[in-house]
Structure 1
Amino acid sequence: MSFSAVFILDMKGKPLMSRDYKGDLPSNCIDKFMNIVLEREDEGSVSPILKVEDITYMYIKHSNLFLVAVGKNNPNASLIFAFLHKLVRVFQEYFKELEEESIRDNFVVVYELLDEIVDFGYPQFTDSKILQEYITQEGQKLDVAPRPPPAVTNAVSWRLEGVKYRKNEVFLDVIESVNLLVNASGTVLRSEIVGAIKMRVFLSGMPELRLGLNDKVLFENTGRARNKAVELEDVKFHQCVRLSRFDNDRTISFVPPDGEFELMSYRLNTQVKPLIWIESVIERHSHSRVEYMIKAKSQFKRRSTANHVEIVVPVPSDADSPKFKTSVGSVKYIPEDSTVVWYIKSFPGGKEFLMRAHFNLPSVEAEEDEGRPPIHVKFEIPYFTTSGIQVRYLKIIEKSGYQALPWVRYITQNGDYQVRTN
C-alpha cells in the first residue's frame, strides 16, 4: 500500500530533488520516466500511472514541475494521488508559489518536510499548521532535536494545545450550490443540491462542539415526526468528527481545528424548483438582425432576495451594433465571449423582470447553428437554503466553562445552472 520514493522533476525530466524511503529501487529508475511519458504522449495515450516491469510511476504536473511517486508492484493509487495533491498544498502554504525556483530556493525545508510527512513510504500527517510549529521557513535545524508539538503525539492531531483567545467565537456557514438543467420547454432534466458546512473557530483550549441538524434519520430513530426534516446523502466529514458517535445516535460531535475548515459536505438528488425561472424568445429577421426577449422570474419567497444575479445569454459570434432595454439592472455585451450579461444587483422573491436585446448581423447569410448554447444563471441568496436544512443547536463545551458566541449563516448560490433555449 506504500510507495518507495518521491521525485520532484523539472519539465525536461531532470531531478531537482528526491527522497528514497525504502532503498528497493534501482538508483537510475527515474531516468526512464520522461522517455516513457514522451512515448505515451506521441502515441496519444496519456495516463498519470505508468508501469514498466515491476515498477509503477504515479505523477501529477504542477506549474513547471512533475511530482512523481515510484513504487514496486501495485501500490495504492488513490492514496498516493491524494498524497501528491496534499504535498502540493503543503508546499504552497510554505512557499506561496510552487514552481522550480521555489524548490531550488528551499531545498532544506523541502527535505525536512518530506522526512516528516512520509515514514518508510507511508504518508503520515500533512497538516501544515502543525508542521509549521517545528519546521520553519528558514529551514534551520537545532543542535538538540526540538520536542514535537503535542498535536503530533496526542489523539487530536489537528489542533494544538494552549490556544487562547480574548473573545471566543464560532462562525458556521451552511452553503448550498444548486445544479440545474432545464430544457427549452421548461422541463427540469437534472437537479441536485451540493451542500457544505464551513466553520471558522476562534476558541480557547480544547473545546468539544456538538452540532444538531434537522436530520430525517435522527427524527425517525427517536420517533419524532418532522415535516421539515432533511434526508442527507453522500455525507463526508472532516477527520475531527467522531464517526462512531454519528453512526450510533446521529450526533455530530468534534474537537475542531483552530481557524477555518470544512466540517462536512453532503448532496441531495432531489427535484428542485428553479429558483430563478428564465423564459427566452429569440427571433431572427431575414438574417440581418436578431432580437432577444429574456424574462426572469424569482420563484422563492418574497422575504428572500437574490444578490448579484447574472443572466449570461449566448449570442451569434458575428453580432454587432447591440441595443438593450431592460426594466431593471444593467446589460453588457461581451464580444470576446459572444455573450450578453444581464446584471441585477438585487432580485427580490416573487418578482419578474424583462430584458430586450437587438443585434445587427452581417448581410452575408450565416448558417443557423444546429444548437444554441444554454443560458447560464449566477446568483447568491443569503439567509436561505434550498434543501431546508437547519442548524437546531451548536453546543460548545470546554472545561474552563467560558461563554462563547456561535454565529450561523445560510447561503444558497448557483452551481452549474443552465437553461436551454432550443
Structure 2
Amino acid sequence: MIHSLFLINHTGDIFLEKHWKSVVSRSVCDYFFEAQEKAGEADNVPPVIPTPHHYLVSTHRDRIFFDYFGECTEAAIKDNVVIVYELLEEMLDNGFPLATESNILKELIKPPTILRSVVNTITGSSNVGDQLPTGQLSNIPWRRAGVKYTNNEAYFDVTEEIDAIIDKSGSTVFAEIQGVIDACIKLTGMPDLTLSFMNPRLLDDVSFHPCVRFKRWESERVLSFIPPDGNFRLMSYHVSSQNLVAIPVYIKHNISFRESGSTGRFDVTIGPKQTMGKTVESVLMIIHMPKGVLNMTLTAAQGTYTFDPVTKMLIWDIGKITLPKLPTLRGVISLQSTAPKPEENPTISVQFRIQQLAVSGLKVNRLDMYGERYKPFKGVKYVTKAGKFQVRT
C-alpha cells in the first residue's frame, strides 16, 4: 500500500504531497536526494530505496503527457491542483489501487475546461460526477456501457526501446529490448477482440492490461480481450536474450589524445545496420568529453554540432541517415597543455528512431472481432528507438 506521495521538481522542491493511511514526514525524501546526488543522472537513481521504516519508490519523467491537462508540467499540476487531489482520491482507496482506468476516471471526475473552471469558482462546485460510472458496477470495470461510434477503428502502436552497451571493438556487451503495445480502440458496443502474432515465443517477460485473458495467452499465445474505450496500454514486454537483439546502428570511432602536446584527434562515423531497409531518423549523438579538453574544432559532413567548453558536452544533431553517404564528424581536440593525458576515452550516447520496424522481429498477424457485426478499420504501426544506447571508445 502507499502511505504518501511526493511530487518533486527539477530543483528538488516538493510542490505537491498527498497522504493516505498515515502522514509520512517530508524528511523521508532526504534518502532520495542522497541517492540522486550519488547517481549523478536522474535515470540512474535506484527505483526502490529502503529506509528504516519505509520503502521509497521513485519514478522520473522528463515530459509527462496526461489525459486531463495535455502536457503535464509543474505549472499545469498547480493550476489544476483540486482535480489532481480528486483523481488521487479515486485512484487509491486508503493507499490501495482502486480506479485506474482513464475512461472510468473521466466519468468520475470531469476533465477541466475553461468554462467548467469558471462555473466551479462561482458556484463552489467540484468536478466529481453525480453518478457512479456504469463500468464500476459490471464484471468489465474497464469499459463503460453504451459506447457508440460512427467510424469504428482499432489501431495498435508497437514501440520498442533498445538498451545496449557496445565495446571498443564493436562487440555487444549488453543488449535488451523494452517493448509496449499501445491501443486506440473506438468501437461500438461490446466487441471481443483476438490479437495474434507471427512469433510470440520471443517475448520473455510480459505484463498485460487487466482486460487480457491470461489463461488464453498461456495456452495459445494470443491476446483475447474486451478492450477499454479509447487509449490504453495493452501490454508491455521484455526481450533479454542477446542473440535475439539486433543492433540497428554501428559507430566507427577514433578518438585519440597525444602523450605530449596539447591536441588530439576526433573521428566518428555512424551508419545503419540490421534495419531491414528502414531509414534511421532523429539521430543525435551526445559525448561527455574529458575535463582536460578546452575546445574542439570539427567538421560535420551532415547535421550540426555544438561543444560547451564549460560542461565539456559535445552534441551532434545528425537527423536522418540517407545512404549511400554516411554522416561523419572529424577534427581536432584542443587540450590543456599542463593537464595529463586523459586516462579514459569518452562514452558515446546515441539516440535514434526507426519507423515501421520492431527490432525484436515481433509482428502482428491478425486482429479478429467477435460479438459485433460491423467491420472496423484496423491498423498497426511499429517504431524502434534508442533507450540507453552507449558505445565505449
| TM-score, length basis structure 2 | 0.75
Whole-angstrom CA distance in 2 between matches of 1:202 and 1:149: 18
Alignment of 1:89-100 (within 5 A): none
Would you say 1:331 and 2:305 are equivalent positions?
Answer: yes
Whole-angstrom CA distance in 2 between matches of 1:331 and 1:415: 21
Are the counterparts in 2 of residues 304 and 348 from structure 1 also a CA contact under 8 Å?
no
Whole-angstrom CA distance in 2 between matches of 1:36 and 1:314: 34
Aligned-pair Cα RMSD in Å: 4.3
Taking a change above 3 Å as real, the CA distance of residues 95 and 187 of structure 1, as seen in their structure-2 partners, is closer
Q: Indicate the residue corresponding to 1:196 in structure 2.
A: 180
Secondary structure of 2:193's counterpart equals: strand
Q: Indicate the residue corresponding to 1:246 in structure 2.
A: 217
Deviations 1:58-86 (A, max 9, x none): 777999xxxxxxxxxxxxxxxxxxxxxxx
Alignment of 1:13-412 (within 5 A): 30=23, 34=25, 37=28, 51=53, 106=82, 110=85, 114=89, 116-117=90-91, 122-136=96-110, 138=120, 140=125, 146-215=130-199, 217=201, 231-269=202-240, 270-271=242-243, 272-285=245-258, 286-301=260-275, 303-348=277-322, 352-362=326-336, 364-399=337-372, 401-412=373-384
Are the counterparts in 1 of residues 200 and 362 from structure 2 also a CA contact under 8 Å?
no
Whole-angstrom CA distance in 2 between matches of 1:252 and 1:39: 43
What is the deviation of 1:380?
0.6
Secondary structure of 1:106's counterpart equals: helix
Taking a change above 3 Å as real, the CA distance of residues 278 and 330 of structure 1, as seen in their structure-2 partners, is same
Greater mean deviation of Cα atoms: 333-342 or 180-189: 333-342
Secondary structure of 2:148's counterpart equals: coil
Higher Rg? 1
Are the counterparts in 2 of residues 207 and 256 from structure 1 also a CA contact under 8 Å?
yes
What is the deviation of 1:206?
1.9
Could you list the runs of 5+ residues in structure 1 that have no partner in the other structure?
A: 21-28, 52-56, 64-88, 218-230
Whole-angstrom CA distance in 2 between matches of 1:301 and 1:232: 20
Whole-angstrom CA distance in 1 between matches of 2:13 and 2:270: 53
What is the deviation of 1:216?
5.0
Letter in 2 for 1:330: T
Are the counterparts in 2 of residues 19 and 111 from structure 1 also a CA contact under 8 Å?
no
Greater mean deviation of Cα atoms: 331-340 or 253-262: 331-340
| TM-score, length basis structure 1 | 0.70
Whole-angstrom CA distance in 2 between matches of 1:206 and 1:389: 28
Secondary structure of 2:165's counterpart equals: strand
What is the deviation of 1:49?
5.4
Taking a change above 3 Å as real, the CA distance of residues 199 and 282 of structure 1, as seen in their structure-2 partners, is same
What is the deviation of 1:93?
6.2
Whole-angstrom CA distance in 2 between matches of 1:359 and 1:323: 7
Are the counterparts in 2 of residues 298 and 348 from structure 1 also a CA contact under 8 Å?
no
Secondary structure of 1:167's counterpart equals: coil
Q: Indicate the residue corresponding to 1:76 in structure 2.
A: none
Q: Percent of aligned positions with the same letter in both sequences?
A: 28
Are the counterparts in 2 of residues 287 and 366 from structure 1 also a CA contact under 8 Å?
no
What is the deviation of 1:267?
1.2
Letter in 2 for 1:166: T
Whole-angstrom CA distance in 1 between matches of 2:290 and 2:18: 51
Are the counterparts in 1 of residues 281 and 354 from structure 2 also a CA contact under 8 Å?
yes
Taking a change above 3 Å as real, the CA distance of residues 318 and 411 of structure 1, as seen in their structure-2 partners, is same
What is the deviation of 1:160?
1.1
Could you list the runs of 5+ residues in structure 2 that have no partner in the other structure?
A: 36-47, 113-119
